[in-house]
Structure 1
Amino acid sequence: MRIRYALFALAATSFPVSARADEPAKVSYFKDVRPIFQQHCNGCHQPAKPLGGYVMTTHADLLKPGDRGKVGVVAGKPAASHLVEQIKVLNNGKAEMPKGRDPLNPIQIKLVTDWIAQGAVDDTPASARAVVVDASNPPKYSAPPVVTGLAFSPDGKALATTGYHEILVYDTDRYALKARLIGISERVQSIAYSPDGKKLAAVGGAPGRFGEVQVWNPESEKLLISTPVTFDTLYGVSWSPDSKALAFGCSDNTVRAVDATSGKQILQMGTHSDWVLGTVFSQDGLHLVSVGRDMSMKLTEVPTQRFVDNVTSITPGALKGGLMAVDRRPMASSAKVRLWSTVHTLALPKRMQKVPVDTPGAKPNVYDEVIIAGSDGKPRLYKVHREVKREIGDDSNKVREYDAMPGRISTLAFNPEGTKFAAVSSLDGKGEVRVYDANTGSKIVCERVTGPVYAVAWHPGGVVIASAGFDGTVWLHNAATGKLLQSFVVLPKK
């Protein structure tokens, strides 16, 4: 009996409550309507992408007209509200909005309609009224942001960093800020340039509210895609080799992928038992590797969305902690990298052109291999595909382990040739940046790192690595010697 009453009480607090059976329940904008807009509408109706000239990220914007001159929400008058007309399901089972997606369900449509009929009241608590952040009102920093992601453009001319509500893009000549890509996600957890260099992807969101995938044209500073996914922040974005798909991890224990042009989901795999924090595609793009807090690395077939195998050992205790980072070992030939280094080193600032480039000549990797790391601070190299029959307790895909770093490793990345990888870690307010030789295990510790480090990226010439973390400082090191070449702080002036 107690259980029955407890369930009834829980149900009563989960839905709008009506004072009388013959009148609609009182609908809350903050609790009922706003979450619907966040999940289904804000991707195309936000300051960075105001489809139809209509923005839906604030209550005040909802009451304004769009390009057609029709007011979206007319308080007390659903029939006069263009928004209601747009979300109404037509005889063919479709609706004008959300564009290109399934219509809102009848319950959601009724909530929006009833809210407007009841006066479209904004009941957002004072403590939850956020300052508007957009291109006209960019984030203002009282201290440098914690940098969780870095990415060099494929041509080496730009370095992107994460910030609050934005991605900051610096030119690599003087490392001057040249673009601020401001979106609706408070946290930007991970960023990556597409292999063809035409797009820049980001994943993040607002903790406990929504996750978001963003795709930008970094040159025009135009937001191409904003796709809400799940109800929490997203992690570990990666591009398919053909630049057509994006993969990422979710805190609902799934790994997902979307079409990079439409934002439509093309893959969802749910065999992880904890948050998924890192993803990477195989060289041919047919498989996806994911790592998570459940101390496992899993392999998924992309076209069929089929879980294939646990790449790491499934024996309890084989890994000492969750996995946070993964990167695929490139299969580029030494000749290709030598040519790139010769041509593109000239694009570097003059003070860096004389930095010695790694001597090519190492045998290129033939099979897909990935490097992983996480809470125990120990990088491990694995073959992606199993070559022998699984036996209980085996870890046959593992190629080698490397010396542990202090604390947990947040990110690691291979150089373009696949002969070296960089890894960053943090422990007790300190951080470290290392460059490992992937074949011998020898290592170089980069100098003058001042705090916890969460992000690392290789310049495509294989000459320089960038790293950053808690104090917002970006360090540029000589990858061959560990010497600090330059540093700057991510802190926009305006």
Structure 2
Amino acid sequence: MKQIYILAVSLSCFLVQVSVTSGEETATVSFRSDIAPILLDSCLACHGPKKAEGGYRVDTYKELLKAGDSGELPIAASPDQVNELLRRVACDDESERMPAESEPLAAEQIELIRKWIAAGGKFDGEDAGQSLTLVIPPVKYADPPEVYSQAIPITATIFSPDGKLIVTSGYHELVVWNTEDAKLVRRIKNVGQRVFALAFSSDGQTLAVGCGEPGRSGEVRLVDFNSGEIKGVVARTNDVVLDIAYRPGTNELAIASSDSTIRIVDVKTLQEIRSIASHADWVTAVAWSDDGTRLASASRDKSAKVYDGATGELLSSYLGHGAAVRGVSILADNKQVVSVGADNKLHRWNVEGAKKVAEVGVGGEGYKLIRNGTDLFVPCSDHRLLRIDLATNKIAQEYKGHSDWVLSACYQPNTAGDDKRNYIASSSFSGEIRIWNIADAAIVRHWIAKP
């Protein structure tokens, strides 16, 4: 939408501003369900907090009511006044009509706005200062395609608690595969467009799904793994959720988002416990210590940080990477942290004083880390998954064979207690899943995870 500076009102624009008295409307129009989605889709790009053309914003209901530079009221206080919002979207004059330089709103959308204003232009949410993304009720996403035309990058994977299944990210869905024969078992629908993180609750019944649509929305959906039903939606925000991690022994879930914030949510009550805003850019990864007393984070702002797990107090900030940090893990003694990122190096550093004590070159950009005892697994952009021995700070094993960036990895629970069944899985940008025997890096099975 362009700046609202034109004082003269063309006849075609004026005529659409008919008398809108509440008495002539019977249907209820909801700001949350009907109006906010229109504003989000068609107006926010030019009238948000970062870019407010004509001094006008629509990112919250409070801002929507404020006049822009023209001084004209978007929503009039009385029926005999012009409603500038309705006039602009319904105008026939392209020089004044909004959205500018774009297709006009559909007649049905304009009618919804007209009816809403006629009924008083009321807000039916809990907080008029909330962003549009949070005001809009959680959506029921459209079903994914029955058959993918091409493979998509697998950005998140996780083994089921019994190790018999592996769950991979899809397009508006999760795809569940049998680990023994790589056959498709089922598909879990109604999740965000892209899935970046997966985590099972301690009882294995609930799968938390960090997802969203880049630059538009983000959330965590809590899925009943047995039924595939959505049990709840938490941590809704205006950009994607990039990582999640359960605090050991609790119902608390740490959530890393592209809005630079870490949220701690109770997945039983669906209430936010605290929010941590220590980073200046995307929070790309979070990890709890084994005992849950500390929380670590990685960020695109080139830092990794450690917090008190109970209070969120910042304990340490490591700035040694000099590039975006993509993965982080707190070691078993709670005294050291390892982090990896776009500088192609694994850094090992002390929590106290944030001083580096070791460095390992990994050959490519490293992503979210998987730690099991003294074994650390690093997915890399150079098409490899690496196992680093934390006792020696050296690469102990290379898992090679992917044709593209390795984006994520997951460790298979060894429920049978058989050392010969000690597996790790990796996923790549090309959509390939590979399951490896950890000890000798032999490939057990691989397939393209494309329904």
Q: Deviations over 1:180-221 (max 9, x none)?
A: 222252111111222331211111211221111111111111
Give the Cα separation in 1 of the matches to 2:184 and 2:290: 33
| Kept in 1: contact 2:432–2:449 (CA 8 A) | yes
2:368 is aligned, of 378, 386, 411, to: 411
Distance 1:140 1:265, change over 3 A: farther
1:256 is aligned, of 263, 286, 290, to: 263
Aligned residues: 357
User: In the TM superposition, what are the counterparts of 1:350-389 in structure 2 within 5 Å?
Assistant: 365-367=332-334, 369-383=336-350, 385-386=351-352
Give the Cα separation in 1 of the matches to 2:198 and 2:75: 51
SS of 1:145 mapped into structure 2: coil
SS of 1:10 mapped into structure 2: helix
Amino acid in the other structure paired with 1:320 = G
Are positions 1:293 and 2:297 aligned together? no
Q: Deviations over 1:270-290 (max 9, x none)?
A: 121221100011223232211
Are positions 1:319 and 2:321 aligned together? yes
* Structure 2 partner of 1:218: 225
SS of 2:204 mapped into structure 1: coil
1:185 is aligned, of 181, 184, 192, to: 192
Distance 1:249 1:299, change over 3 A: same
1:24 is aligned, of 83, 104, 124, to: 83
Are positions 1:420 and 2:375 aligned together? yes
Amino acid in the other structure paired with 1:408 = E
Distance 1:370 1:195, change over 3 A: farther
Q: CA deviation at 1:399?
A: 4.6
* Structure 2 partner of 1:11: 55
Distance 1:23 1:272, change over 3 A: same
Distance 1:453 1:8, change over 3 A: closer
* Structure 2 partner of 1:464: 423
Give the Cα separation in 2 of the matches to 1:435 and 1:283: 20
- TM-score by structure 2 length? 0.69
Give the Cα separation in 1 of the matches to 2:225 and 2:335: 30
Q: Deviations over 1:70-112 (max 9, x none)?
A: xxx989766999xx99x74xxxxxxxxx6xxx3556998xx99
User: In the TM superposition, what are the counterparts of 1:32-431 in structure 2 within 5 Å?
Assistant: 88=124, 102-104=126-128, 134-135=142-143, 138=145, 140-227=147-234, 229-310=236-317, 312=318, 314=319, 318-329=320-331, 365-367=332-334, 369-383=336-350, 385-386=351-352, 390=353, 395-396=354-355, 398-402=356-360, 404-415=361-372, 418-427=373-382, 431=383
Amino acid in the other structure paired with 2:245 = S
Give the Cα separation in 2 of the matches to 1:216 and 1:20: 40
| Kept in 2: contact 1:447–1:483 (CA 8 A) | no
Give the Cα separation in 1 of the matches to 2:411 and 2:131: 49
Distance 1:240 1:8, change over 3 A: closer
Q: Deviations over 1:341-394 (max 9, x none)?
A: xxxxxxxxxxxxxxxxxxxxxxxx4446443211122223345x42xxx4xxxx
- TM-score by structure 1 length? 0.64
Distance 1:463 1:185, change over 3 A: same
Amino acid in the other structure paired with 1:326 = V
Q: Deviations over 1:28-49 (max 9, x none)?
A: 9x9xxxxxxxxxxxxxxxxxxx
| Kept in 1: contact 2:321–2:341 (CA 8 A) | no
Q: Deviations over 1:133-170 (max 9, x none)?
A: 535x5464211110011111232122111111111122
Give the Cα separation in 2 of the matches to 1:307 and 1:103: 29
| Kept in 1: contact 2:216–2:238 (CA 8 A) | yes
Q: CA deviation at 1:248?
A: 1.9
Q: Which runs of 5+ in 1 are unaligned?
A: 31-58, 63-72, 89-97, 113-131, 330-364
SS of 1:185 mapped into structure 2: coil
Distance 1:210 1:19, change over 3 A: closer
How much is the aligned-residue C-alpha RMSD, in angstroms? Answer: 3.7
Give the Cα separation in 2 of the matches to 1:107 and 1:488: 41
* Structure 2 partner of 1:454: 407
Distance 1:8 1:467, change over 3 A: closer
Fraction of identical pairs, as percent: 26
* Structure 2 partner of 1:479: 438
Distance 1:206 1:27, change over 3 A: farther
| Kept in 2: contact 1:277–1:291 (CA 8 A) | yes
